[in-house]
Amino acid sequence: MGPSSVFQLAIFAISCYVSGALAAFGYTSSGANYIVDAGSSNPLVFSVSQSSCDINSIKFRGTELQYGSQGSHISSGLGTATVSISQITGSSKYIKITCVTSTLTQYMVVREGDSIIYMATYITAQPAIGELRFIARLLPAKLPSEYPYGNVSNTNGASSAVEGSDVYLVNSQTRSKFYSSTRFIDEDSHCVYGGTDVINVCIITPQQESSSGGPFFRDIDSNNAGASTNLYNYMNSGHAQTEAYRTGLHGPYLMQFSRSGVPNLKGADVSWFGELGLTGYVAASGRGTVSGTASGVPSGMQGVVHWHNSAAQYWAKTSSNGAFTSPLMKPGTYTMVLYQTEFKIASTSVTVSAGKTTTANIASTYSSTRKSLFKIGEYDGQPTGFRNADKFLRMHPSDTRMSSWSSTYTVGSSALSDFPMAVFQSVNSPVTIKFTLASAPGAATLRIATTLSFAGSRPQTTVNGWAGAAPSAPTKIDSRGVTRGTYRGFGEVYDLSIPAGKLVAGSNTITISSLSGSSGDTFLSPNFIFDCVELFT
Ligand SMILES: *[C@@H]1O[C@H](CO)[C@@H](O)[C@H](O)[C@H]1NC(C)=O
């Protein structure tokens, strides 16, 4: 056998090992790291620092995926933690790494044969950096692309910053990590991927009971940032925060490695998590459910039931006949809210007990006994259908692909997409609505439903030149909104009473301005997002 055949044989042996042979499940201690081998047919071997809890190497099918300059970790790394490892034999074999600090415990678990790092994060206080997230920093050379939204959040090669240090211009398109977000209720898996072999690395979140913000909250999921491709599980943050953070056990959540397509939520099995002895874990037997019927959700809108208290949050979609069943919930008393799509139409309270199904029905209390003179949009808690509403989730309002923000909307002849989804004080304020009335209606109400206010903005209205009373400033939500693809806030609804005599038979004009004492950059000027505008008697 000549040297080149020996060489070929060696290559053959290596490729057999990589694609087929089962690696040995287990762990070793080496160089101040724990090296864990998941024993999977697509080998997953990763290394965790015994002093910081950082993941500093991830080899999947023999390929290193971990970025070298920074680790993958909870928050921005724990710095120092007490790190321990154990092997557990239950219904399967598990290896559990536990990293303990004074207020946070990070668990990383493998189950024999899975190419998955299962994680959970127990906190007794919000991390000092003000947000709770896991970040995997991976190699862009191996994993350049992002799923499901493609390169909208790929800031590699950015030529300049458009806003802050998180919205950039790449090939004349605005890009930001914020444009990778998905509503919690819609989350399946989000991934980064690449290679001729197509390796997918995905985060899957079977539930977000300890997160914050409810079913419609969205946060950063991925970002090819050039140096590293970052993959996140954001559990809470100040990115348009609408409720207090929760402590306790967050997760389980999965970082799954695959070369046979995109893994999904349906395939995620965490039923065995109770065998791990995690602090804060509440088993299925210690939980209860709520089921019932929701009524009053208009056809064409999705009914969503949302349960929340200071310890936990859950949600369920209603079926077409209004029936719903909650996930398994921790015992306690919850506020129970009903939405039509995202617009709140009822709120009540329900108590959940372990091992029980509680029946609780909920009915819309949102009155529809109005005589509408015109209605622009729907009360769905979203700017859907308005101008640029089809784009703003994935690009900045200054992007050249956006349609012009300025427009006049004429009731009866304009398309819904002629009505701008937002009014920015320095860009397109006021928004003008023209309409014709057959006769003077007497006193009327103009209802402006909004989804999110930025910098204290609220609508100031004129009716045929008459200035309506200025609403007081809404509760401020910290940080930016529409400019980073966010629309969900407190959803203020403003009713303006229009005295008799202001609306006339024939042509009428209403203007809606963004009112605020402060001013700012073009798109960072005070702004709010429209949900629905209706004139009624
Ligand atoms: C995303 O951009 C990267 C460059 O950063 C490129 O390698 C990759 O092919 C792009 N992915 C898609 C799906 O266009």
DSSP 207-259: --TTSSS-TT-----EEE-SS-EEEEEEEE-SSS--S----EEEEEEEEEEES
Distances (CA, A) of 266 to 164, 184, 269, 302, 392: 37, 15, 8, 21, 29
Atom of ligand 1 nearest to the CA of 157: 5
Ligand 1 centre distance from Cα of residue 193 (Å): 10
pLDDT of 23? 63
Element (H, E) at 16: helix 3-19
pLDDT of 21? 45
Tokens of 42: 């697509």
pLDDT of 168? 97
pLDDT of 18? 43
pLDDT of 4? 41
pLDDT of 175? 98
Residues of the chain under the 70 pLDDT cut: 1-23, 517
- In 3D, which of 410, 336, 340, 432 has the Cα closest to residue 382? 340
pLDDT of 407? 83
Ligand 1 centre distance from Cα of residue 409 (Å): 39
Tokens of 134: 């896991």
pLDDT of 10? 42
Computed on alpha carbons and rounded to an integer, the radius of gyration of the chain in Å comes to 26
Question: Ligand 1: which of 153, 154, 222 to mutate, judged by most atoms within 8 Å of the beta carbon?
Answer: 154
Q: Is ligand 1 within 6 A of the CB of residue 211?
A: no
pLDDT of 1? 36
- In 3D, which of 295, 342, 371, 317 has the Cα closest to residue 532? 342
pLDDT of 2? 39
Atom of ligand 1 nearest to the CA of 226: 5
pTM here is 0.94
Question: Ligand 1: which of 151, 177, 191, 193 to mutate, judged by most atoms within 8 Å of the beta carbon?
Answer: 151
Exposed e or buried b per residue across 379-402, where buried means at least 16 C-beta atoms within 10 angstroms of its C-beta: bbbbbbbbbbbebbbbbbbbbeee
3-state DSSP assignment of residue 266: helix
Catalogue all structural domains in the chain, each as residue range(s) with its CATH number. Answer: 21-275 (2.70.98.10), 284-363 (2.60.40.1120), 372-536 (2.60.120.260)
Question: Ligand 1: which of 139, 145, 159, 173 to mutate, judged by most atoms within 8 Å of the beta carbon?
Answer: 145
